[in-house]
Amino acid sequence: MLSSVKELDYQPKLNGRDFLTLADFSKAELNFMLNLAQHLKKQRKLGREEQPLKGKTLGMIFEKSSTRTRVSFEAGIYQLGGTGLFLSSKDLQIGRGEPVADTAKVLSGYLDGIMIRTYSQSLVEQLAENATIPVINGLTDDYHPCQVLADMLTIQETKGSLKGVKIAYIGDGNNMAHSLMIGSAIMGMDISVASPKGFEPDEAITKKAVDLANQSSVVVTNDPVEAVANADVIYTDVWASMGQEEEQKAREEIFANFQVNDYLVAHAHSDYTFMHCLPAHRGEEVTASIIDGKHSVVFQEAENRLHAQKALMVALMG
């Protein structure tokens, strides 16, 4: 067993880089972060945590509220020896019209890293372009790369490897679908995304995933049974994401045939794993029998947000 982070075989030069989408990283670099996450998780379980970020400060900007993102980043930076600052956009001058570039330059003088959870991907990119410290995308309407880093860690733990795994994502072609497609393509996993007509993933992001595919396939369909056929992992998300609450009732009708239930999962491998980024609406996108059943790893997956993001912070800020 590794006794310290420094003993990892592969040490890419990730210090100072931004984490805006998974597409910005190679398979080897993502594997390094997953190996680092496994190491940090083991050390925590053994009570032998390292503090490679002692004295470092992470600023956490939130335009969207959060449970898992906020608590995992704040607890994670503390466990690594650093400090996390919760920065609501309502309390910052950026919420009153200060240019993003000015905010980025000011925060770069105070902090060692920035995590932002917001709506616009372009805002995150503008922040990163003007900051001189690493910027981490905690979620935008287009991508959720931190979640998928934790998802890949969970799949490794449950399936033993990522190679050759087939993921079936059922539901809205949203930021989760986008990041799962990108991550699967890079890491050599097959992915099938099933969404209702008009709710498919963004075409440009789908093309990016197809272009990145590493001995794997990326399929988009309107048939959930087709997507789930022979799947190793079944994944879903809420039908109406944050900011889409007024569409809830309409989406319940449109997505009715895309519920993950006992009928649908019967088309997957018998040892399939069920995953959900949470929060979940039992009785809508997934039945209680599935999310609370023996195939579900949603709470292991949620815990892995902590370990994956600790690895990410060490890699970028260490």
Residue 86: CB partners within 8 Å, gap ≥ 6? 60, 62, 70, 74
Q: What is the CA radius of gyration of the chain?
A: 19
Question: Residue 15 gets which letter from DSSP?
Answer: T
The answer to whether the CB of 305 falls within 8 A of the CB of 68 is: yes
Cα separation, 179 vs 201, in Å, equals 10
Q: Is 241 annotated as a binding residue?
A: yes
User: How many other C-beta atoms are found inside a 10 Å radius of the C-beta of residue 126?
Assistant: 17
Average pLDDT score over residue span 3-23: 84
- Same fold: 22-143+305-317 with 145-301: yes
pLDDT, tens digit, for every residue of 58-109?
999 999 989 999 999 999 999 999 999 999 988 888 877 899 999 999 999 9
pTM above 0.75, yes or no: yes
Q: What number does CATH give the domain 22-143+305-317?
A: 3.40.50.1370
Q: Is 68 annotated as a binding residue?
A: yes
pLDDT, tens digit, for every residue of 201-234?
999 999 999 999 988 999 999 999 999 999 999 9
Question: Residue 19 gets which letter from DSSP?
Answer: B
144 closest CA partner among 106, 183, 172, 109: 183
Q: Is 69 annotated as a binding residue?
A: yes
pLDDT, tens digit, for every residue of 131-155?
999 999 999 999 999 999 999 999 9
Cα separation, 114 vs 20, in Å, equals 11
Residue 314: CB partners within 8 Å, gap ≥ 6? 5, 36, 40, 52, 53, 80
Question: Residue 202 gets which letter from DSSP?
Answer: P
For the domain made up of 145-301, the CATH class stated in words is: alpha beta
The values of phi and psi at residue 30, to 5°, are -70, -40
Q: Is 117 annotated as a binding residue?
A: yes
Cα separation, 237 vs 174, in Å, equals 9
Q: How confident is the model at residue 6 (pLDDT cuts 50, 70, 90)?
A: low
For 65, the token pair is 């509220």
Amino acid at 262: D
Q: Is 147 annotated as a binding residue?
A: yes
With 0-12 / 13-18 / 19 or more C-beta atoms within 10 angstroms meaning exposed / middle / buried, residue 43 is buried
Q: Is 83 annotated as a binding residue?
A: no
Cα separation, 260 vs 282, in Å, equals 10
Residues designated as active site = 117, 144, 147, 237, 277, 305
Q: Is 67 annotated as a binding residue?
A: yes
The residues spanned by each domain of the chain are 22-143+305-317, 145-301
The answer to whether the CB of 194 falls within 8 A of the CB of 170 is: yes
